[in-house]
Amino acid sequence: MSLDTVGQRCVSEREPELGLGIVAEIDRTRVTVEFPATRERRIYARGTAVLKRVRFGVGETVAARDGSAFAIEEVVEEGNLLVYVGGGKRVREDVISDVTSVGSPAERLMSGQADPSEVFDLRLRTLRAQARLRQSDVRGFLGGRIDLIPHQFYILHEVSNRQIPRVLLADEVGLGKTIEACLILQRLLVTGRASRALVLVPEALLHQWFVELLRRFNLWFTLFDEQRCIDCEAAEPEKNPFLSAQLGLAATTWLANNEKRSEQVVAAGWDLVIVDEAHHLGWTPSSPVSGSSRSAAGPAAKSGASEGGATPAAEPAALLGQAEPAVASPEYALVEKLAAKAPGLLLLTATPTQLGQAGHFARLRLLDPNRYDHYESFLEEAESYAAVAGVAEKLVEAKTLTARDQKTLAGIFDSDPERLSELLGALEAGKPGAREALVRTLLDQHGTGRVVFRNTRAAMSGFPKRKYLAAPVEGATPTLLERIARELEAEEGGDISAIRYHFKDDPRIDWLVEFLKKISPAKVLLICRSERKLLAIEAAIKDRVNFKIGLFHEGLPLVQRDRQAAWFAEPDGAQVLLCSEIGSEGRNFQFAHHLVLWDLPLNPGVVEQRIGRLDRIGQTETIKVHVPYMAGGADECVAEWYHRGIGALESPLQAGDDYHAAFKDRLLALAINCVDGKKRTTPKQLDALVKETQTFHAELTEKLKKGRDRLLELNSFDREVADKVIEKVRAADESPFLERFLGELLDHFGVRVKEHEEGDVTLDASRAYVEGFPSIPRDGMLATYDRKRAIAREDIRF
């Protein structure tokens, strides 16, 4: 029976799971079939053997769309459509129920609807392959287009083996927190432990996350914004727009400051919530805590009060045992509500304690509000953590434990002194594994050891070196020097409305143009403070020469920013990307090796963030940090302080806010006075400040070294475990099983596979036996089974 009339019913022999189909459109060469039960639509070549006309016989039972069923007594044909008669009813085939069964396996066999034995064999091999993958120890570890970096896979192994994880990922800048979160998400989705996930990020990082999830992990997230929500509500007024997708990506601030959307996103329910840049979630006690903990809480309270930068909302004071309520930003309040409902929660921040213990406590209580319910108690416990970490440090470095250390251990094991005696006895006897057993036991005693993961550069290898290349520029006029000083003063004061940036006659632009010509075609990332300054720099360059210049600033729509970043990444794209300060947070440009710092903010933490866009694990070359400044100007004074005082342009710097708080005012005064005829800064004054800074730097470095939480680092990385996991991933990568099996499967569905250069394959689905093979465009695509090849070529699917 031919299919030549709209309304005729049919089934697809290739895809019987689609259910009962109905012919929706017909033209000279094609027939379009809708499968209402599964909400699918397919287009087939007219006359294809894949489609079979469905005709129910006398004695069979069919149902109308209103649910009434009857036994067929007679079948007649009217206008090429079958009409089923029985039980006093006449039902045309195009209005029978879409879920009507088209026959049991026995009936299909009796009617000759049987697959060849080769298809049965392929189906059996597919089920076995599925079972094999489900039993793999690295199920969910394999699909990412990423390097196999040990500490990332250790965190993946540790966190994703928990039923539903709630952890703080706090690796230092450049160690790959985003990759870690995506790996954990992918593992949970593949294993079925999560099906709905929400990712909250700063608005500037929305499209970067979207592209990262799609290109690296083949995860298609829905970008939620106000317009999408409006469109969803227009289509289905009664439906929560956040139920329209299983995987959602949204800007934290937009949701937090929109009461309606905030309520909707919480009500939608999620299995896993991921929050990037979690240090922006503002929370702090609104009054100082009392007692012995007061001094410890002081800096935390001061800095924590400014976290988030949004209008605060109060929470019950009883939670903290204080007279005054705690203060939470709208962003924090939103995440707190989501965290209370979602089983899984991943918080990402490179600076877990940068804004003080109050901010750190705030994030921990999101993860486990029952465990972290009292701030003063947390501060008291934090002091004991330091003692535990000190003992662990000695154990790790195989140092002898002192009587004081023994006393500390006795306090830790006060409820199980026999266990302590056993462990210490094994240690003194030199038994293999005794030291490791004691360290593992201490880990269990560590307050945040199981919910916080923090890897540091000090414990890692594989980072590039930095090289500072000062670029003093001569020929400045007094007017130009005065203007540079006034710009610095205004920018540090936070009010640049009166500043008119103008670089047309600035000798630094001449230096920049010559520099770009000299190193062409090498990529250069230039970062400055603001959009207005960036556009003035662009105009001055274009006034001199025609370069391919990319722009990245807050005035561009998010999609345009990502296009500019992608153009910069292309070999034949922009040679230089001019970037405002927003480019210093979250972006990754490690394919470039030259960084130009057009200006230097007086906060070293901000400068470290800028350099961190290139200084990341996986960077293949030494990073050249270029700082052009006018000889004798305010910018030279600042550059000298950075280079000689703290060495921040050649070495990674921690605790940048501490330097900012200690030296900002004096450094700013010296820099401005460089061009003041009456109070001109002398080299002796600058040398004195540099010397004081060097002393401060040495003391702070030693303090940070002593306060380094080795116990937390041990919990965050175990080389032996990581190597075993990576070994299994490599074995799976190198196995020919997947390539061989997919080849058979693609061939069965009519997808042509052609070998390409360097082991790549082209997949052509234009003549496939189904309308669309999953993930393969009709015009085909280039793919590879080689991980290194996929990392090097983002245009090739992995």
pLDDT tens for 657-710 read 788 889 999 999 999 887 754 557 778 899 999 999 999 999 888 776 665 566
pLDDT confidence of residue 292: 37
Torsion of CA 380, 386, 387, 391, to 10 degrees: 160
- pTM (2 d.p.): 0.71
Interval 295-320 mean pLDDT: 37
Q: What are the extents of the domains in the chain?
A: 9-104, 150-368, 380-447, 466-707, 736-792
pLDDT confidence of residue 578: 95
Q: Is the pLDDT of residue 382 over 50?
A: yes
pLDDT confidence of residue 584: 52
pLDDT confidence of residue 470: 94
Interval 307-314 mean pLDDT: 39
Strand 40-45 relative to strand 30-35, pairing: antiparallel
pLDDT confidence of residue 644: 94
pLDDT per position as a tens digit, 53-67: 888 888 888 888 877
Pick the CATH number of 150-368 from 3.40.1780.10, 2.40.160.40, 3.40.50.10810, 3.30.2040.10: 3.40.50.10810
Q: Give, in words, the CATH class of 9-104.
A: mainly beta
pLDDT per position as a tens digit, 393-422: 787 777 888 888 888 888 777 777 888 888
Q: Is the pLDDT of residue 289 over 50?
A: no
Please say whether the beta carbons of 488 and 671 come within 8 A. Answer: yes
Residues 471-496 as b/e (b if ≥16 CB within 10 A, e otherwise) read: eebeebeeebbbbbbebbbebbeeee
Q: Is the pLDDT of residue 87 over 60?
A: yes
Q: Which amino acid is residue 98, in one-letter code?
A: D
Q: Is residue 585 very low, low, confident or very high in pLDDT (cuts 50, 70, 90)?
A: low
Q: Is residue 445 very low, low, confident or very high in pLDDT (cuts 50, 70, 90)?
A: low
Where helices occur in 548-655 by DSSP H, the ranges are 558-569, 604-611, 634-640
pLDDT confidence of residue 421: 84
pLDDT confidence of residue 106: 64
Q: Is residue 318 very low, low, confident or very high in pLDDT (cuts 50, 70, 90)?
A: very low
Q: Which of 286-290, 429-433, 498-502 has the lowest mean pLDDT?
A: 286-290
Place of tokens 């800096």: 299
Strand 326-328 relative to strand 313-315, pairing: antiparallel
pLDDT confidence of residue 525: 95
Q: Is residue 739 very low, low, confident or very high in pLDDT (cuts 50, 70, 90)?
A: confident
Strand 313-315 relative to strand 781-783, pairing: unpaired
CB atoms inside a 10 Å sphere around CB 611: 23
Q: Which of 103-112, 296-305, 518-527 has the lowest mean pLDDT?
A: 296-305
Cα three-residue angle 466-606-199, rounded to 5 degrees: 105
Q: Is the pLDDT of residue 615 over 50?
A: yes
- Most confident of the ranges 15-19, 159-163, 228-232, 282-286: 228-232
Interval 623-644 mean pLDDT: 94
Q: Which of 220-234, 254-268, 610-624 has the lowest mean pLDDT?
A: 610-624
Distance CA 281, CA 298 (A): 19
pLDDT confidence of residue 638: 94
Q: Is the pLDDT of residue 792 over 80?
A: no
Residue 275 pairs with which residues in a beta bridge? 200, 347
Interval 123-145 mean pLDDT: 88
pLDDT confidence of residue 8: 94
Q: Which amino acid is residue 127, in one-letter code?
A: L
Element containing residue 613 per DSSP (H, E): none
Taking phi over 0 as left and psi of -120 to 50 as alpha, with beta for the rest, 726 belongs to alpha
pLDDT confidence of residue 297: 34
Q: Is the pLDDT of residue 535 over 60?
A: yes
CB atoms inside a 10 Å sphere around CB 537: 23
Interval 719-723 mean pLDDT: 89
pLDDT confidence of residue 312: 38
CATH of domain 466-707: 3.40.50.300
Please say whether the beta carbons of 718 and 398 come within 8 A. Answer: no
Q: Which of 284-288, 562-566, 647-651 has the lowest mean pLDDT?
A: 284-288
Please say whether the beta carbons of 529 and 581 come within 8 A. Answer: yes
Q: Identify the CA nearest to 355 among candidates 390, 321, 307.
A: 307
pLDDT confidence of residue 49: 78
Percent of the residues in the chain that have a pLDDT greater than 70, as a whole number: 87
**CB-neighbour burial class of residue 765 (10 A; exposed 0-12, middle 13-18, buried 19+):** buried
Supply the mean pLDDT for the chain: 83
Same fold, 9-104 and 466-707: no
